[in-house]
Structure 1
Amino acid sequence: MTDVTAIFDIGKTNKKFFLFDENFKEVHKEYIHFDEIKDEDGHPTENLEALQDWLKCVFEKILKTSEYRVKAINFSTYGASFVHLDDNGQPLTRLYNYTKPLDQEILNSFLEKYGSKTEFLNRTGCFDLSFLNSGMQLYWLKYAKPEVFKKIKYSLHLPQYLSYIFTGIPVSEYTSIGCHTALWDYEKKDYHQWVYDEEIHKILPPIVSTETSINMNYNGKRIKIGVGIHDSSAALLPYVRSIKKKFVLVSTGTWSIALNPFAKFSLSDNKASSDFINYMRINGKPVRAARLFLGNEYKLQVRKLNEYYGKSEDFHRSVKFDYDTYFEIIQDFSHIFKWESIQAKNMPSKTKLPYEKFEHAYHQLMTELVLLQIESIKKLIGDDEIKRLYVDGGFSGNDLYIKLMSHYFRDKKLRTTDASLGSALGAAISISDKKLNSKFLKKNYALKKHVPFIIK
């Protein structure tokens, strides 16, 4: 039998189950998708009961196989989500979606009590105040649904709730607390004072290290059960563990999130909160992050280019970087795209396409998007001496994005990785005693080096 670590990697859309062997090689995977249900206000949300049933069903099936011996299990999930338990350990409410609108009256009352919004956002490492900050959900429950709030014994972040399903032990851990929850004061390295003033801390279980595991007898088998980890922190972990020099990880997708685990955090920086949010490493240290709605904007603009030039939906995937086309564009360069989901200072009031060919317009689009990405990363790095950039996710396979990034960051070493396993692998590593060496990314993540193109 192969000794394996089992990982449930729960995204908003897809729910995944992986088995990794002792060398962190994937040996088994399963995917499932659940239709959303609605909460009591009619807002779409996760089907928590279906998720819980699937977790137990899949895990018990794996335990019965003769092929694998499960030695450990852990959980990686999206953040900004709480499960509220009653005295019997049962969920009291639906799993409220972080896209749910927050009542303006509730938000106003919070800001009246707890002062300057800018200072609060800086202290707690948040971008804005909404349901995306899970702490605001607790405040909302206390004042909008007091009869429910009074029945809460514990509020568990989603990764810790999945662990609780298997252990029955309620805990909190750093990466979930630190992901823009508005609960944590990064200056004080403790819950923010408002958490104590509102007595929210009484329903938050004790904080344990993300590397904590609980040895249990589960269905007659001795298994090490992890306490769960927030997915962005999990995705960062293999890099932090295997790279000794400073770096920035650019995780690209619908959101392009640049993560700097080496940023020094200080309120005196007076950084605009709209530029940065904070995540937390497994040891409680902050990770400063800059986010950009890059993948979303790319999708919207490519759709328009397809319509304008009469191209098929997938045509853009076949366009490779062409130096001569790029050189034509940068002569007397000006911004021509009006963004739909990004605010930028150089943006015109309307998109005007002066090109006859799709390829030229596409090169222009990618140049403008990469310039936004460069600006975001430079702000994130600041005065720090960081010479290494790692790019994973959707844009790591986009030829123009990578060529332009390596061109504009000629002073940095650019690497791409295939991190389709990212957060799941991070969750497996977080409860493992194994040390990672510098060759780990090359062996497990298809690490590639990129050099800037030669300027003619």
Structure 2
Amino acid sequence: MQNVIAIFDIGKTNKKLFLFDEQYNIVWERSCICEQTTDEDGEPCEDLTRLTGFIHASLAGIPAAFMLKAINFSAYGASFVYIGNDGKPVAPLYNYLKPFPDELKTKFYDAHGGEVTFSMLTASPVLGSLNSGMQLYRIKELQPQLFAKIQTALHLPQYLSYLLTGTPCSDITSIGCHTNLWNFSQQHYHEWVYREGIIDKLAPILPSTSVLPVKAASPPGLARPSIPISGIGLHDSSAAMIPYFESFREPFLLISTGTWCISMNPFNHSPLTVAELQKDCLCYLSYQGKPVKASRLFAGYEHEQQVLRIAAEFHVQPATAAKVTYDADTIRQLRAHPADKPTTFEEAYHRLMLDIMAKQVASTQLVLHDTDVKRIFVDGGFGKNQIYMHLLAEAFPDIEVFAASIPQATAIGAALAIHQHWNDGSRPGDIIELKYYK
């Protein structure tokens, strides 16, 4: 039998299970798209029954040729599962996009030092329900009967671990991601968590590298070789950085690109300033419990919308953008004559990328300054975009710029977090594929 670790990677849309061998190769996988349900207000939210069914059925379906040595979970953040005295959910998994009442927001921040001071202490911009601690506060204030029924509130990654271990716990990567719960300067929960009685609903914090004994790997009647241990789960953004921590020792910055382009600098240890907060910076905690300063840019979305616009203008398909290669002469011409209107789709697309890069450089500089970063890694969609990568390398001539590719980085990160508990081999040194841009 082949030794493997099972990793569930639970996104908002796609739910996946991967088996990795001891060299971190994917040897088996399964995925599904779970339809959402609605909460009591008709707002869309995760269907916990379907999600739990996927977890159990996927484990039961693993071929017997694999020897499961361990299991771990990565999942999206800003989401609580509320457990009652019987160990089962007593409320929906409320969507982090659920509107947060303005009057309640004002009441909260007025009571706890004001938005600016509070946001600086918790490294959390004011984001409503995306500050997951505010979800608990809303229940306490508006649904006191439900609040009384909640024995433990578990962030989603820890709830998935709880399904198999029966042990409720909290993890620093979930607590430390714009939750309004954590005081970054003092490295413990903010005082409001105690003052409002929220602390009584939170499980003990365990190290992100912890493992627990598995009590039930599948529902009764579904035969499956036992899994001895489970990790406690990780917030997906933190899990995706673990391969970089394992592979590189010199200071680096990672730009994770998708709908949002997030510049993450684990080597910027200066506290967030008011100006940085106002420019959409925040901090979260790595699996080692250390602050990672990050800035956000809505560049992927902007790229998508502008490509549609210029494709319509030049009567081409939007997919044409993927075929446009970097042309230094076009860049020079556009810079020399910025007021001239592009005459071809290729020119217009280069202009778009110049505009996006100007914003990207400003965003990245927010978390880059005053640090000794030697390398910038770009993963996700823009890492495959020649024009983006060449312009980024040009913008930071004193820093090595690489497009980075890690198949299923989040899942691999969750496996690496508990490597010592399941894998007798050494951690792989070639897990990240890099392409250098001069």
Does TM, scored on the shorter chain, surpass 0.5?
yes
What CA distance in whole angstroms lies between the structure 1 residues aligned with 2:406 and 2:192? 38
The aligned counterpart of 2:299 is: 294
Report the Cα offset of residue 271 of structure 1. 4.2
CA shift digits 1:37-95 (9 cap, x unpaired): 11111111111110100100101221xx2321110000000000000011001111111
What CA distance in whole angstroms lies between the structure 2 residues aligned with 1:74 and 1:160? 10
Report the Cα offset of residue 332 of structure 1. 3.9
The aligned counterpart of 1:39 is: 39
What CA distance in whole angstroms lies between the structure 2 residues aligned with 1:436 and 1:285? 24
The aligned counterpart of 1:447 is: 434
What CA distance in whole angstroms lies between the structure 2 residues aligned with 1:419 and 1:307? 34
Report the Cα offset of residue 26 of structure 1. 1.1
The aligned counterpart of 1:355 is: 342
- Contact 1:173–1:227, Cα closer than 8 Å, also in 2: yes
Code of the aligned partner of 1:317: A
What CA distance in whole angstroms lies between the structure 2 residues aligned with 1:127 and 1:398? 30
Code of the aligned partner of 1:135: G
Alignment of 1:76-95 (within 5 A): 76-95=74-93
The aligned counterpart of 1:274 is: 278
The aligned counterpart of 2:221 is: none
1:50 matched to 2:50? The reply is yes
Q: Which moved more, 1:145-154 or 1:415-424?
A: 415-424
The aligned counterpart of 2:220 is: none
What CA distance in whole angstroms lies between the structure 2 residues aligned with 1:144 and 1:210? 33
What CA distance in whole angstroms lies between the structure 2 residues aligned with 1:357 and 1:30? 44
Percent identical across equivalent pairs?
39
CA shift digits 1:245-269 (9 cap, x unpaired): 00001000001111111111336x4
- Contact 1:128–1:274, Cα closer than 8 Å, also in 2: no
The aligned counterpart of 1:349 is: none
The aligned counterpart of 1:4 is: 4
The aligned counterpart of 1:407 is: 394
SS at match of 2:293: strand
Structure 2 unaligned spans of 5+: 218-224
What CA distance in whole angstroms lies between the structure 2 residues aligned with 1:284 and 1:206? 15
The aligned counterpart of 1:110 is: 108
What CA distance in whole angstroms lies between the structure 2 residues aligned with 1:93 and 1:177? 20
Code of the aligned partner of 1:306: A
SS at match of 1:290: strand
CA shift digits 1:204-247 (9 cap, x unpaired): 00000010001336466252111000000000011012101000
SS at match of 1:30: strand
The aligned counterpart of 1:224 is: 229
Alignment of 1:50-449 (within 5 A): 50-62=50-62, 65-216=63-214, 218=216, 221-266=226-271, 269-275=273-279, 276-333=281-338, 354-433=341-420, 440=429, 443-449=430-436
SS at match of 2:150: coil
Code of the aligned partner of 2:305: L
SS at match of 1:417: strand
What CA distance in whole angstroms lies between the structure 2 residues aligned with 1:265 and 1:186? 11
- Contact 2:330–2:347, Cα closer than 8 Å, also in 1: yes
CA shift digits 1:116-149 (9 cap, x unpaired): 2111111111122310010000000001111101
- Contact 2:166–2:215, Cα closer than 8 Å, also in 1: no
Code of the aligned partner of 2:184: Y
CA shift digits 1:5-59 (9 cap, x unpaired): 0000001111111000111111111121012211111111111110100100101
Structure 1 unaligned spans of 5+: 335-352, 452-456
Greater than 4 Å deviation, 4+ residue runs: 217-220, 434-437
Give TM-score scaled by structure 1 length: 0.91
Report the Cα offset of residue 285 of structure 1. 1.0
The aligned counterpart of 1:339 is: none
What CA distance in whole angstroms lies between the structure 1 residues aligned with 2:120 and 2:111? 17
- Contact 1:4–1:69, Cα closer than 8 Å, also in 2: yes
Q: How many residues align?
A: 427
Q: Provide the alpha-carbon RMSD of the alignment.
A: 1.5
The aligned counterpart of 1:22 is: 22
CA shift digits 1:289-343 (9 cap, x unpaired): 1111110111111111111111113111110011111111010436xxxxxxxxx
SS at match of 1:237: helix
Give TM-score scaled by structure 2 length: 0.94
What CA distance in whole angstroms lies between the structure 2 residues aligned with 1:283 and 1:274? 27
Code of the aligned partner of 2:185: E
Q: Which moved more, 1:220-229 or 1:53-62?
A: 220-229
SS at match of 2:126: coil
Code of the aligned partner of 1:81: S
Code of the aligned partner of 1:286: P
The aligned counterpart of 2:222 is: none
Code of the aligned partner of 1:243: F
